[in-house]
Chain A
Amino acid sequence: MSTIDRTPAHATNGNGKPYKVIGTRPIRHDGVDKVTGRAKYGADIHLSGLIYGVVLRSPHAHAKIRSIDVSQALALPGVRAVVTHKDLREPGDRIVELGEGAVNLRHLSNNILAADKVLYKGHAVAAVAADSVHIAEQAAGLIKVDYETLPAVIDVEAAMKPSAPLLHADLFTDELGQKAKAPSNVAKHFRFEKGDIAKGFAQAKVVIEREFRTATVHQGYIEPHNATAMWNADGYITVWTSTQGSFTVRQQVAELVNAPISHVKVIPMEIGGGFGGKIRVYLEPVAAILSKRTGKPVKVLMSRADVFEGTGPTPASYIRVKLGVGSDGKITAAETYMAYEAGAYPGSPIGAGAMCIFACYDIPNGRIDGYDVVVNKPQTSAYRAPGATNAAFALETVVDEACEQLKIDPLEFRLKNGVKEGSRRVDGPVFPRIGMMETVEAVKKSEHWNTPLTGKHRGRGVASGFWFNCGLKSSASATVNPDGTVALVEGSTDIGGSRTGIAMQLAETLGIAATDVVPTVGDTDSVGYTDVTGGSRVTFATGYAAYEAARDIQRQMVERAARIWEVDAAKVSYENGGVTGPDGKRFSFKELAEQINKTGEPIVGRGTVDPEGCGGAFATHVVDVEVDPETGKVDIIRYTAAQDVGTAIHPSYVEGQIQGGTVQGIGWGLNEEYFYDAAGTMRNSTFLDYRIPTCYDLPMIDTLVVEVPNPGHPYGVRGVGEVPIVPPPAALANAIYRAVGVRMKQLPMSPPNVLKEILRKGASK
């Protein structure tokens, strides 16, 4: 069943569903702390005896480190320690799974403090701990690094050429499973195939082939990276940091500083945004070894420039797409060549991008070639539906052009070709029950779509997008308090209001109010293993764990009531927020909670899950723009995002995720880019010149919340956080085309880039 919910009063539980809590909009549990400034973020931790660390970064995009002389820095009064790569453990070429992507530990270690080579401007080389941050900064300036500079390559196409400067002498292309003989910047080439593309293109009436280029962009979280560590004399290490995954930080720190995981305790602070960029560690091991050397707690913070130049952007890419469509408007074949920049070490999200590019459409014959390419830029990290936005920009623009040539309405094209339950992706998997078509239907019925757009230089564009979502491991425990409330401890650091979404699923299961659950995000010693807050998994998987914890409480409460009533537990059941026994016996949850400590052992529920069936997410967006034909500036007049969310647990947070993701996609589409000079130095590592949209650049992002419940979750939840970033650049490009007649094949579609196309078109007339 699909429903559309646009107004707060029209919550899902008003739609005939049996929910009391799910679909309502309670005030978030962390709301007061956050609006009053009382919430503690990473930089807010203060400890007695705290000293400060500063990281020295490479001024060169590519250079050998001949030597590092720290003597002058160490001699400065107030300096306590200087560390370099030698102070980290050499972990070898082992691969560890971080939850949303794997990492080679040697690469990770070299990224944290460079060993013999710096591979990008901003690459960390050494770190200083001193009594004040100012002394530490001054000391960092006294470290003498002798570099032998090397030619840099900062562009994916250039890096793939045989003549390109090599980043790693020991990197040999994995060419369709075979290891190449000579080293190269291409880490990997893989291919997915389905059907017979030659036959498919031969059947097409229209075949369109286009090239696309997208720029490097950053996640742009407001809170810079931070880490505070105390390496105790007994060998136990405590790390305070804002992260998307306390347990992955524990694992990475343990591996990199050579400590057992049981000796590392990670205390997650509130987090000011991550979007995938706060999974990999940067500062945590540095703070830990500085603390080990000094015996004091050490805090290390990044500046905004450090964040841009030293932490995970998402890749620039080159994508070629060829699409064949028959005279009946059905896709006959599709082919793509996709090369993504990995940054300094292998591991771009090319795999995900390749699996997403054709995922919205039922494609009988397809081929996908993917390339993972190293360049002299910071190592890329996950960013909200990693790899999918680049891919959708290319494919959805070509789809739009095919619609134009065949004179098919873009929504009708999607209804004709869109995927549904049973469709097989080019890379193999068959879709379970999904809601792609429902998002198209929602747009088709929307007031926005049915209101004609008038005015000069205005255009309307449509695009769709897909993201897998994921399950992974989560834990929760819940203690029943005598006053009838429940203290919930869960392991997912809360980025988008998830602790409330999780608490609501516990409350729903127990039949109590959301406000009667007090959720806490536990540290690594106080909650069971929980994977990262990523992959749009938290409300799905950690919510599932909370559901299981609630079921566990139900069982214990049934047993307790049976004991109190002296009846067989089989005759007692949990229903309607309480227990019911024979002969009209009844305890409400609160009544029984009050009895617990008087009648036996405490009641603590536990839930641990590793669920399959996360259910994919689809979105279809429509945008109206107005373009200034004299300057190339694009103004967004109206935006509507339709998305299948499974079940909206807390509709406000679902809408917030859709709006936030859309806005990031708009920024990526219109103005965001790493701007490099010829030497490979980023010239715009500030929020002044790296332009994320401000509230003045955006209309209200209207949301169409479509609910196609996910059969893989007790409440039908699907992840919602990532897919909304996928369609915006393509939707904007299609709208710009309709406004001023130019097809943008390059991101960002900034005024200079758009004006260039407008002037070129004018000149060719």
Chain B
Amino acid sequence: MRDFEYEAPASVAEAVKILSRHNGSARPLAGGTDLIDQIRTGRHAPQVVVDIKKIPELSVLELTAGGLRLGAAVPCYRMYGDPRISAAYAALADSARIIGGIQIQSRASVGGNLCNSGPAADSTPSLIALGAVAVIAGPAGQREVAVENFCTGPGKNVLAPGEFLVELKLPPRLPHSGSHYRRFIPRNEMDIAVVGVAASVVLDGSGEKFVSARVALGAVGPTPLFANEVGKLLAGQPVNEQTIAKAADAARAIARPIDDMRGTKEFRLHVTGVLTRRVIEESVQRARS
């Protein structure tokens, strides 16, 4: 591990200034649960680590009629620790509950999980399913990017030098809606997703018909995948086994996994279908209750 400088700016503008000055050789630090390990193992060797936790906007967690504002440095435990958030954004709370153990959840942020841009990130499919938008600050001011367009490859994303993630904005929960995230892991805890599926469904008043749905897949492509076709296929259809089975088939068709030490391609494709079915079923249950 190489020595590095540490900066802790108090404003977005100051952070942008520091990051721009170092032009790619500075890295933002929120919880640090990925970054510190990556510096230690030599995957990153930044000159400067910019601690963004002192910037007030980065720690905002605000639930209003307009939706949820989630600061990029807010640790995971605050998702599931807030009953209103875990009810309205259940998939996100599901994700936050299974990212690492309690120590990790007390430090690690959903924003950091997104910026680390791992294909198997547990919270990104939930953000996509819930329609989250990333608010990015940079030398040219602020811009917004839908989360499904944020990651561009393993460990890669749309952030340009000098830019960093400020917050995530999630739309308000609609009536008769429910969401869920589930991953497959060989163990029961403390593991990384072999396949992850998030879904958010909106039913009609009877609870028997899909009005709309968003489904996202993790660990089955170079980035978390927005399974737009699955949502389209569900919209307007009755809630039944056949509809959900078709959705599972469609999700399998979208997945493009690789063979690695966590699972074979065949296994991942099969499990994508299984999990998609289970996750939609659970989302429907939640929408109905």
Q: In the complex, which residues of chain B have a beta carbon less than 8 angstroms from the beta carbon of A688?
A: 191-192
A683 to B261, CA, bound (A): 7
Q: How far is the CB of A757 from chain B (nearest CB, A)?
A: 12
Asked if residues B189 and A694 are in contact (CB atoms below 8 Å), the reply is yes
**Which stretch of A87-95, A643-651, A748-756 is in the interface?**
A748-756
Whether a CB of chain A sits under 8 angstroms from the CB of B242 is no
Q: In the complex, which residues of chain A have a beta carbon less than 8 angstroms from the beta carbon of B173?
A: none
Pick from B1, B184, B190, B267: contact of A696, CB below 8 A.
Answer: B190
Asked if residues B2 and A694 are in contact (CB atoms below 8 Å), the reply is no
21 contacts between A and B (CB under 8 A): A134-B1, A134-B2, A134-B3, A138-B2, A630-B270, A632-B267, A635-B188, A671-B186, A683-B260, A683-B261, A689-B192, A691-B191, A693-B187, A694-B187, A696-B187, A697-B189, A751-B184, A751-B186, A751-B267, A755-B267, A755-B271
Whether a CB of chain B sits under 8 angstroms from the CB of A203 is no
Whether a CB of chain A sits under 8 angstroms from the CB of B12 is no
Q: How far is the CB of B197 from chain A (nearest CB, A)?
A: 12
| Interface of chain B residues 1 through 16 with chain A (CB within 8 A) | 1-3
Per-position binary interface string of chain A over residues 696-709, scored 1 when its CB falls under 8 Å from any chain B CB and 0 otherwise: 11000000000000
Q: How far is the CB of A353 from chain B (nearest CB, A)?
A: 26
Whether a CB of chain A sits under 8 angstroms from the CB of B262 is yes
Whether a CB of chain A sits under 8 angstroms from the CB of B245 is no
Q: How far is the CB of A632 from chain B (nearest CB, A)?
A: 8
| Interface of chain A residues 12 through 34 with chain B (CB within 8 A) | none
Q: In the complex, which residues of chain A have a beta carbon less than 8 angstroms from the beta carbon of B189?
A: 694, 696-697
A692, closest chain B residue (CB)? B187
Contact status of A633 and B270, CB under 8 A, knowing A675-B261, A684-B261, A752-B264: no
A752, closest chain B residue (CB)? B267
Count class of interface residues, chain A? 20 to 34
A684 to B266, CA, bound (A): 20
A696 to B184, CA, bound (A): 15
Q: How far is the CB of A751 from chain B (nearest CB, A)?
A: 5
Q: In the complex, which residues of chain A have a beta carbon less than 8 angstroms from the beta carbon of B85?
A: none
Q: In the complex, which residues of chain A have a beta carbon less than 8 angstroms from the beta carbon of B3?
A: 134
Q: In the complex, which residues of chain B have a beta carbon less than 8 angstroms from the beta carbon of A750?
A: 186
Q: In the complex, which residues of chain A have a beta carbon less than 8 angstroms from the beta carbon of B270?
A: 630, 755, 759
Q: How far is the CB of B224 from chain A (nearest CB, A)?
A: 19
Q: How far is the CB of B196 from chain A (nearest CB, A)?
A: 13
Residues of A within 8 A of B (CB): 134, 137-138, 630-633, 635, 670-671, 675, 683-684, 688-689, 691, 693-694, 696-697, 750-752, 755-756, 759
Asked if residues A630 and B186 are in contact (CB atoms below 8 Å), the reply is no
A675 to B261, CA, bound (A): 6
**Which 7 A/B pairs are nearest by Cβ-Cβ distance?**
A675-B261, A752-B267, A696-B189, A696-B188, A684-B261, A630-B274, A683-B261
Asked if residues B260 and A697 are in contact (CB atoms below 8 Å), the reply is no
A685, closest chain B residue (CB)? B261
A671, closest chain B residue (CB)? B186
Asked if residues A697 and B261 are in contact (CB atoms below 8 Å), the reply is no
Asked if residues B187 and A691 are in contact (CB atoms below 8 Å), the reply is yes
Q: In the complex, which residues of chain A have a beta carbon less than 8 angstroms from the beta carbon of B238?
A: none
Q: In the complex, which residues of chain B have a beta carbon less than 8 angstroms from the beta carbon of A751?
A: 184, 186, 194, 263, 267
Q: How far is the CB of A55 from chain B (nearest CB, A)?
A: 16
Asked if residues A631 and B274 are in contact (CB atoms below 8 Å), the reply is yes
Residues of B within 8 A of A (CB): 1-3, 184, 186-192, 194, 260-264, 266-267, 270-271, 274
A138 to B1, CA, bound (A): 8
Q: In the complex, which residues of chain B have a beta carbon less than 8 angstroms from the beta carbon of A684?
A: 261
Asked if residues B184 and A631 are in contact (CB atoms below 8 Å), the reply is yes
Asked if residues A697 and B1 are in contact (CB atoms below 8 Å), the reply is no
Q: How far is the CB of B70 from chain A (nearest CB, A)?
A: 26
Contact status of A689 and B188, CB under 8 A, knowing A630-B274, A631-B274, A759-B270: no
A745 to B267, CA, bound (A): 19
Q: In the complex, which residues of chain B have a beta carbon less than 8 angstroms from the beta carbon of A683?
A: 260-261
Asked if residues B186 and A633 are in contact (CB atoms below 8 Å), the reply is yes
Q: How far is the CB of A447 from chain B (nearest CB, A)?
A: 25
Asked if residues B190 and A694 are in contact (CB atoms below 8 Å), the reply is yes
Q: How far is the CB of B56 from chain A (nearest CB, A)?
A: 34
Contact status of A689 and B184, CB under 8 A, knowing A134-B1, A694-B190, A752-B267: no
Q: In the complex, which residues of chain A have a beta carbon less than 8 angstroms from the beta carbon of B264?
A: 752
| Interface core residue of B1, B3, B190, B266 (most chain A CB under 10 Å) | B190
Q: How far is the CB of A262 from chain B (nearest CB, A)?
A: 40
A750 to B186, CA, bound (A): 7
A492 to B189, CA, bound (A): 36
Q: In the complex, which residues of chain B have a beta carbon less than 8 angstroms from the beta carbon of A696?
A: 187-190
Q: A689-B192, A750-B186, A752-B264 are in contact. List 5 more A-B contacts (CB 8 A).
A: A631-B274, A633-B184, A691-B191, A696-B190, A756-B267
Q: How far is the CB of B72 from chain A (nearest CB, A)?
A: 24
Q: In the complex, which residues of chain B have a beta carbon less than 8 angstroms from the beta carbon of A755?
A: 267, 270-271
A134 to B3, CA, bound (A): 9
Contact status of A752 and B191, CB under 8 A, knowing A137-B1, A631-B271, A633-B186: no
A742 to B247, CA, bound (A): 29
Q: In the complex, which residues of chain A have a beta carbon less than 8 angstroms from the beta carbon of B263?
A: 751-752
A631 to B186, CA, bound (A): 9
Q: In the complex, which residues of chain A have a beta carbon less than 8 angstroms from the beta carbon of B190?
A: 694, 696
Q: How far is the CB of B221 from chain A (nearest CB, A)?
A: 18
B264, closest chain A residue (CB)? A752
Q: In the complex, which residues of chain A have a beta carbon less than 8 angstroms from the beta carbon of B188?
A: 635, 694, 696-697
Q: How far is the CB of A760 from chain B (nearest CB, A)?
A: 11
A675 to B192, CA, bound (A): 16
A637 to B92, CA, bound (A): 30
A742 to B267, CA, bound (A): 17
Q: In the complex, which residues of chain A have a beta carbon less than 8 angstroms from the beta carbon of B262?
A: 689
A630 to B278, CA, bound (A): 11
Q: In the complex, which residues of chain B have a beta carbon less than 8 angstroms from the beta carbon of A752?
A: 263-264, 267
Q: How far is the CB of B265 from chain A (nearest CB, A)?
A: 10
B274, closest chain A residue (CB)? A630
A755 to B271, CA, bound (A): 10
Q: How far is the CB of A115 from chain B (nearest CB, A)?
A: 28
A632 to B270, CA, bound (A): 11
A698, closest chain B residue (CB)? B188
Q: In the complex, which residues of chain B have a beta carbon less than 8 angstroms from the beta carbon of A632?
A: 267
A631 to B261, CA, bound (A): 16
A601 to B270, CA, bound (A): 79
A748 to B260, CA, bound (A): 16
Q: How far is the CB of A26 from chain B (nearest CB, A)?
A: 33
Q: How far is the CB of A711 from chain B (nearest CB, A)?
A: 43
Q: In the complex, which residues of chain A have a beta carbon less than 8 angstroms from the beta carbon of B192?
A: 688-689
Q: In the complex, which residues of chain B have a beta carbon less than 8 angstroms from the beta carbon of A630?
A: 270-271, 274
Q: In the complex, which residues of chain A have a beta carbon less than 8 angstroms from the beta carbon of B267?
A: 632, 751-752, 755-756
A738 to B265, CA, bound (A): 28
Q: How far is the CB of A64 from chain B (nearest CB, A)?
A: 27
B195, closest chain A residue (CB)? A631
A628, closest chain B residue (CB)? B274
A684 to B3, CA, bound (A): 28
Q: In the complex, which residues of chain A have a beta carbon less than 8 angstroms from the beta carbon of B1?
A: 134, 137
Asked if residues A697 and B274 are in contact (CB atoms below 8 Å), the reply is no
Pick from B2, B261, B266, B274: contact of A689, CB below 8 A.
Answer: B261
Q: In the complex, which residues of chain A have a beta carbon less than 8 angstroms from the beta carbon of B266?
A: 756
Q: How far is the CB of A747 from chain B (nearest CB, A)?
A: 14
A689 to B267, CA, bound (A): 17
Q: In the complex, which residues of chain B have a beta carbon less than 8 angstroms from the beta carbon of A691?
A: 186-187, 191
Q: How far is the CB of B260 from chain A (nearest CB, A)?
A: 7
A303, closest chain B residue (CB)? B41
A366 to B219, CA, bound (A): 50
Q: How far is the CB of B1 from chain A (nearest CB, A)?
A: 6
Q: How far is the CB of A676 from chain B (nearest CB, A)?
A: 9
A633 to B267, CA, bound (A): 12
B271, closest chain A residue (CB)? A631
Q: In the complex, which residues of chain A have a beta carbon less than 8 angstroms from the beta carbon of B274?
A: 630-631
A670, closest chain B residue (CB)? B186
A387 to B235, CA, bound (A): 57
A671 to B261, CA, bound (A): 11
A671 to B185, CA, bound (A): 11
